[in-house]
Structure 1
């Protein structure tokens, strides 16, 4: 504990807040209360007011056992829109059948999803980088929420909506005090969660839930960091030092075939030549 406190000195309040949220998520998840609902929107990248997809992945408890639900909606009127800057993976939902719905049905389905789970107990909305998705939920295009709480309380209340952000949870886990946010793909890679067809709203919602559960079911943040990445922090620096091959997807793809890179063998010396 003393060693971790020493490392945290001078890292600022942002990392402290992230660490607090990490431990609170672990506690609330272990208590098996409420509904945890991971959400993701996709919009046309030429006009972000044109929503094209919505995905969700939910976990709630019945008699102490998890009940899971996944889904993916595609807006019929925007189905022909083609992305220019991100992959076009709308048709590649990995966890069931996509539903093609009109804009009014799209809006109503999202409202019903939120209201149903909110009425059953506290609702934890899980995002990866929440800002844009929360804006969509509040917008006239969806109008599913009016307010949310960003601080997780000791005793969450029925009817209240709380935000959980896996980008912040992972920042706490790796010890990052900066404002930089890792992509969902990179977070999943570091947590060893296999992904396929990201930028499909349904897939992204499911992988966001998987990432949250992976962290929430582990040990406290400092122990979990050391278990996942042993001896990767320095004495006065809590941030994990990742290698290039861990950060780059091309390196990671090769690792699956050849294993992680190893150091080059030492060059022969004059003494070696004499042998």
Structure 2
């Protein structure tokens, strides 16, 4: 391998990364490289293969996470909370709204869709009462549809979130979001650390769950389109309370449906079972 590596560097006149000598390779294919142009063609083909293989690996991981979400949902033992945060479009450090929606599956003992154990909250931050979106992001803070909007400072908002989760035992809460990482960072900025304060039994991103259904691992579509595709009516998005409510409905609908079959067998994504080696002539 070292000899081939050295000859390739001489042929193309540049340094190549070293290969892992401890790896085991099977299904080896011999490719003859006669010049630098041949190497370039091979490198492009290999890059395309690696991109496809990584996407397939990611899709498998998303599908596994999706099935885990369905498992937790169907156990009827958990409290599910979806959180959304709206920030100022010109300075994302300024949090304008926080909303959350809670579904207690343990209390869901009726088939009546109008009698479900939901709790919805929408808060606007008094610290930034003078700030308003509207140029890049729609201003919907006054269009909350699931209760009363409460104005409070960010510390009080954080305390209310902790209070709503106070009765839940550690490890019995499932955290949900649409583009979850962003909302987790926003919550950290107001003193809510999801892993420490909530200790969720699972954390799920409905954007990733939808990607698992579509079979396109790297595609992320917005909340409104995801709800439309799943037949969920939605209004006045970009209001934190509304977005949290619809995110939770989207999560529940996704959990109620099985994943469509997707054939990934034509792509080998196991790191140590496939490798191409090259013969320089």
Q: When the two structures are superposed, what TM-score results if normalisation uses the length of structure 2? A: 0.67
Written as runs of structure 1 = structure 2, the 5 A alignment for 1:65-214 is 65=109, 67-83=117-133, 84-117=135-168, 119=169, 121-139=171-189, 142-145=190-193, 147=195, 159-178=199-218, 180-214=219-253
Q: Which residue of structure 1 aligns with residue 259 of structure 2?
A: 221
Maintained 8 Å contact 2:171/2:201? no
Distance 1:24 1:48, change over 3 A: same
Taking only aligned residues, the RMSD between alpha carbons, in angstroms, comes to 2.6
Greater shift, 10-19 or 59-68, is seen at 59-68
Question: Residues 145, 67 of structure 1: CA spacing in aligned structure 2 closer, same or farther, 3 A cutoff?
Answer: same
| Residue ranges of structure 2 left out of the alignment (5+ in a row) | 1-51, 110-115, 268-281
2:84 to 31, 34, 40: 40
Deviations 1:24-81 (A, max 9, x none): 1111101111110000001111111111111111111345535211110111221221
Aligned runs of 1:11-30 on 2, under 5 Å? 11-30=55-74
Pair 1:174–1:91, CA change in 2 (3 A)? same
SS of 1:222's equivalent?
coil
The 1:160/1:127 distance shift into structure 2, 3 A limit, reads closer
Counterpart contact for 1:111–1:143, Cα < 8 Å: no
Post-superposition offset of 1:162: 2.5
**Structure 1 107/87 Cα, relative in aligned 2: closer, same or farther at 3 Å?**
same
- Structure 1 unmatched runs, 5+: 1-8, 149-157, 226-232, 238-275
Q: How many aligned positions are there?
A: 207
Distance in 2 between the 1:159 and 1:104 partners? Answer: 20
Name the counterpart of 1:265. Answer: none
CA-CA distance at 1:112 after TM superposition: 2.8
Runs of 4+ in structure 1 deviating by more than 4 angstroms, as ranges, are: none
Computing the radius of gyration from Cα coordinates, the structure with the larger value is 2
Deviations 1:186-220 (A, max 9, x none): 111111211111000000001101111111012x2
Superposition TM-score, scaled by structure 1 size: 0.68
Judge conservation of contact 1:36–1:126 (CA < 8 Å) in 2. yes
How much has 1:98 moved relative to structure 2?
0.7
